[in-house]
Amino acid sequence: MIQIIDKSAQFNTTIFNGNFVVNKPVANGFSQTISPYSSLFYWSHAVATNDCEFGLHPHEGFEIMTFILEGKVSHFDTASKVWTPLQTGDFQIIQSNSGIQHQERIAKGTRSFQIWFDPNFYKAIKENPAYLDYHSEHFPTAVENGVDTITYIGQQSKAVSITPNLTIKKLTFASTTKISLPLDETSSYTFYVLDGTGLVNKQRVKKDDAIRISNTQQLEIDFVGQLFYIQTPTVLNYSPIWTA
């Protein structure tokens, strides 16, 4: 199954008087098209058109990752108890577990992902919370399947995730490239078009489209630009919180 989800079919909203513009390719309670699956609960793509601040607020159970695609964010939480600066190419992991509070200051022009996973909520809430930050220099570009690839979560990554069998990568196609990308038929994927245009299995994709994939062994790509993707098991050995 391969499904293209245009930005208009995602959940789109603004906050902070229109200064924080959001589209969500994965969100609970809006439509079946963008509903959570596997361990992936929530995915928000946001652009700050002015300086914004999220005040101190709580989380528990979920593993929350924020990727700074462009710009800068300052982050504070009750586990690290310090303000941490994050810039383009950096990302953070909040393992909220038994409970954590955090606060974010987001600079004008910042573009980011925030993504929530259920690592097994009912086990996680029995563990102490943790905060980890990673910087762009921790993640060198490698060539995989003929494409420049950065692995944020997965084999050979320095990042530590508690969500089982999770892979997150960014693919950069510097020029129009045709490849057949091998996929794991037992996994589900969401690709996000960060930039560029092209064809995925002969279907046209463009910036801010999401692509949901399952039960597929090969993905035929004819593309220039950047793709970001998340891979999770199609079948978990625990029940995610939203199915309880």
Domain annotation covers residue 121: yes
**Torsion angle, CA of 106/111/117/121, rounded to 10 degrees?**
10
The order of strands in the sheet holding 11-15 is: 11-15, 20-26, 40-48, 111-117, 63-70, 91-95, 130-134
Q: 130 and 15 in one domain?
A: yes
Domain annotation covers residue 82: yes
Q: Which residues contact 14 (CB under 8 A, 6 or more apart)?
A: 20, 21, 22
Q: 17 and 132 in one domain?
A: yes
Q: 102 and 146 in one domain?
A: no
pLDDT of amino acid 77: 87
Report angle CA 57, 33, 95 to the nearest 5 degrees: 30
Residue 135, annotated ligand binder? no
pLDDT of amino acid 40: 98
Map the chain to HEC letters: CEEEECHHHCEEEEECCCCEEEEEEECCCCCHHHCCECCEEEEEEEEECCCEEEEEEEECCCEEEEEEEECEEEEEECCCCCEEEEECCCEEEEECCCCEEEEEEECCCCEEEEEEECCCHHHHCCCCCEEEEECHHHCCCEEECCEEEEEEECCCCCCCCCCCCCEEEEEEEEEEEEEEEECCCCEEEEEEEEEEEEEECCEEEECCCEEEEECCCEEEEEEEEEEEEEEEECCCCCCCHHHC
Domain containing residue 57: CATH number: 2.60.120.10
Residue 45, annotated ligand binder? no
pLDDT tens for each residue of 60-98:
999 999 999 999 999 998 888 889 999 999 999 999 999
Domain annotation covers residue 239: no
Domain annotation covers residue 29: yes
Q: 109 and 215 in one domain?
A: no
Q: 98 and 84 in one domain?
A: yes
Residue 102, annotated ligand binder? yes
Q: 229 and 147 in one domain?
A: yes
Q: 73 and 21 in one domain?
A: yes
pLDDT of amino acid 156: 83
pLDDT of amino acid 239: 94
Q: 215 and 158 in one domain?
A: yes
pLDDT of amino acid 243: 86
Task: Tell me which of 137, 168, 189 is where a domain ends.
Answer: 137
Q: 183 and 149 in one domain?
A: yes
Q: List, for the chain, all residue ranges whose pLDDT scores fall below the cut of 70.
A: none
Q: 107 and 219 in one domain?
A: no
Domain that holds residue 168: 142-233
pLDDT of amino acid 155: 86
Task: Tell me which of 137, 172, 192 is where a domain ends.
Answer: 137
Domain annotation covers residue 129: yes
Domain annotation covers residue 244: no
Q: 128 and 23 in one domain?
A: yes
